[in-house]
Amino acid sequence: MKKMIFRNRNQLLPWLMLLGSFAGFCLFYLVPFVVSFFYSVVDHPIHGAFCGLQNYKELLRNPYFLRGLKNTVAFMAVSIPLNMVLSLIVALVIHNMKRYPKYFGLVFLIPLAIPSATSAFFWESFWGLHGTFNKFLSSYHINGFDWRNSEYGMIVMIIIFIWKNVGYNMALYMSGLSSIPKQYYAYADVEGAGIWWKFRNITWVYLTPTTFLVLIMTFVNSFKIFKEIYIITGEFPPEGLYVLQHYMNNMFLSLNYPKLAGAVYILTIAIALPVACLFRSERKLSKDLHD
Amino acid sequence: MGYVLFLLIVILYMTPLIVTFAGSFMSSREVEKHYSVGGIQDDEFIDMNVIPEKVTLSQYAELLFESPVYLNMFWNSVKITVPIVIGQIAVSTLAAYAFTVLKFKGKERLFFLYIMVMLLPLQVTLMPNYMVADWLDITDTYLAIILPGIFNPFGVFLLRQFMKSIPDAYIEAAQIDGAGHGRIFCFIIVPMIKPGIAATAMLTLLDYWNLVDQAVIFIQDTQKQPLSLFLAQINSGETGLAFAGSCFYAAPMLLILLYGQEHLKQGIAITGIKG
């Protein structure tokens, strides 16, 4: 039905509409991205000779690169699911609030508006050797240490990440929640369904598309938290906090483009494969929902 | 019990803002007394005092009146973010519409490319951006930040999600009535996804308002730096000034969030019901 109507339409205008975005997308992202592949197969950024996969081999043996990769994966494996669950809980609480949901919602959005440097400064003052957290501990006669540079550094970063991003996901979930027809809950109440049943069979089912969106945005934001991490830890963080972006930043600053380009491609492939699977399953799922 | 816990979390959440806000009304001497601790003694701690001994506007006076530098940097931030937000919305709304109505082979693949680029961390796209800025000879100008910002695939992704939720019947009915794509876009699609546009604009604005890395790499001239970069590089002796600067810089964003929150909610609300 839809196809029949669209077929005979003048499609020139939509193509033009796409063209603007596509041209810019190619010029600023796609073309240089492809060009940078050539950097990854030469041994020197200027007048380099072709060296095949040498850079890739070296990268996969480079302890710094591997450490960054390991820490990045560990950070994401904990912080992404944790953030999604907490955001959903906060969204559910605020959604069901009778009074002032707007202002409570705003509270969780505040961290997005605070400049990165300011929140970094606050968290440094909180977790540092002379920080507020240790002050609290000392009142119980516990000797603190610099939490950022300890084995707990990763936990500190995860807390900062959660603090900053729960609001973002909460907003996405709240909109998903407000789109669920209220009658469904009313029917369930008539049938005498419990809270957990309603969540499993109504809320969670209807939030599926939102959850995909939240997952993608959390992934994007889990890279963005590097801005704060970098301000707090600087160029040379302790081992446990050295993430991939540190490695890339350092390669960029030392103008080592072949290594940087190699790292870019390895990371891109590492992201593309799971995301492609995710999208395939999403399309299947949404097809199943509609059939 | 649940409410008490929730209230406690809310207070914890606001602490950074409260501490910063309170600090901005202290004299620099008082701020240094609270925050410049450490050195040899281990039993001295930072004191995040939220009640100033004496309230003073001296930090704000320095920020706003005594030197034109800071206000100028604030203005630089405006000059970077406003064109990005406007350009991003214009380009992305058009492209999202095209993605919705066009049927061509490889459309989903092309869209997947957009999403891929969106997912890559900034450190990955900075090098391509830098290369292009070099070719176009726009380094050390705002264009080096603005142009990649405008063509950031994020807007296309988010707005397409909104448009997906508009039932096809709307577009089909308009077409049967003889409306072309131009009219459908202007009079049906744009009004319907206004909340989505507001949400995209707001998220783009928040993102670029607090940019740091792009400015470090593209803008060498200190006169041209945005205030967000200055706040990231401020000296430890100027904590009080940093507090006032932070409040001054965050205020417009907080206002926009307060008024825009409803849009954010409705905006993404439509995405729930996919067509």
pLDDT at residue number B161: 84
Whole-number percent of chain A with pLDDT over 70: 95
Residue pair A67/A61 in contact (Cβ under 8 Å)? The answer is no
Written in H, E and C, the secondary structure of A229-283 is HHHHHCCCCCHHHCCHHHHHHHHHHCCCHHHHHHHHHHHHHHHHHHHHHHHHHHH
Which pLDDT value is given to residue B271? 47
What pLDDT sits at residue A55? 87
> Interface pTM (ipTM) of the complex?
0.86
In order of A105, A115, A166, B199, B203, the CA distances from B257 in angstroms are 10, 14, 15, 10, 10
CB within 8 Å: A27 and B98? no
**Could you tell me which chain A residue has the CA closest to the CA of B39?**
A130
Q: Which chain B residues contact residue A122 at CB under 8 A?
A: 15-16, 19-20
In this structure, which amino acid lies at residue A146?
D
Average pLDDT over residues A189-196: 87
Contacts of B257 in chain A (CB under 8 A): 106, 109-110, 112-113
Spell out the per-residue pLDDT of chain B, length 275, in tens: 677 888 888 888 899 999 999 989 988 888 888 887 655 555 677 777 778 888 889 889 888 888 888 999 999 999 999 999 999 999 999 999 999 888 888 888 899 899 988 888 888 888 888 889 989 999 889 999 999 999 999 999 999 988 887 888 888 888 888 888 888 888 888 888 888 898 899 999 999 999 988 898 898 888 899 999 988 887 767 888 899 999 999 999 999 988 887 776 665 544 444 43
CB A207 within 8 A of CB B271: no
CB contact under 8 A, B116 and A108: no
**B245: exposed, middle or buried (Cβ count in 10 Å: 0-12, 13-18, 19+):** buried
Judged against a pLDDT cut of 80, whether residue A285 lies above it is answered with no
Best A26, A30, A33, A288 member to test B by mutation, with max B CBs in 10 Å, is A33
Q: Is the pLDDT of residue A87 over 70?
A: yes
For residues A72-98, give the mean pLDDT: 92
- Cβ contact (<8 Å) for A176 and B101? no
What single-letter DSSP state applies at residue A48? P
Contacts of A180 in chain B (CB under 8 A): 272
Residue A127 has pLDDT above 60, yes or no: yes
| Residues constituting chain A | 291
pLDDT mean over A120-141: 82
Cβ-Cβ pairs closer than 8 A, A with B, add up to 276
**Of the partner residues B15, B45, B176, the one whose CB lies closest to the CB of residue A134:** B45
Write the DSSP symbol of residue A179. Answer: T
Contact B126, B144 (CB under 8 A): no
Mark yes or no for CB contact B272/A175 under 8 Å. Answer: yes
Distance CA B245, CA B252 (A): 12
Dihedral-angle region of residue A52 (phi above 0 means left; psi in -120 to 50 means alpha; beta otherwise): left
Q: What is the pTM of this model?
A: 0.87
- Give B258→chain A minimum CA distance, Å: 7
**Listed residue (B166, B147, B42) closest to A134, CA to CA:** B42
Q: Report the residue from A15, A175, A249 with minimal CB separation from B267.
A: A175
Residues of A in Cβ contact (< 8 Å) with B19: 122
- Widest CA span of chain A, in angstroms? 80
- Residue A8, pLDDT score: 46
Residues 210-229 on A with a CB inside 8 Å of B are 210, 213, 216, 219-220, 223-224, 226-227
Least Cα separation, residue A46 to chain B (angstroms): 14
Instruction: Assign A163 a pLDDT band (cuts: 50, 70, 90).
Output: very high
Give contacts of A10 with chain B, Cβ < 8 Å: 180-181
- CA of A70 to nearest chain B CA: how many angstroms apart? 16
B interface test, pick of A121, A147, A252 with most B CB neighbours within 10 Å: A121
A21: nearest CB among B20, B95, B129: B95
Question: Among partner residues B110, B262, B272, which is closest to A206 by beta-carbon distance?
Answer: B272
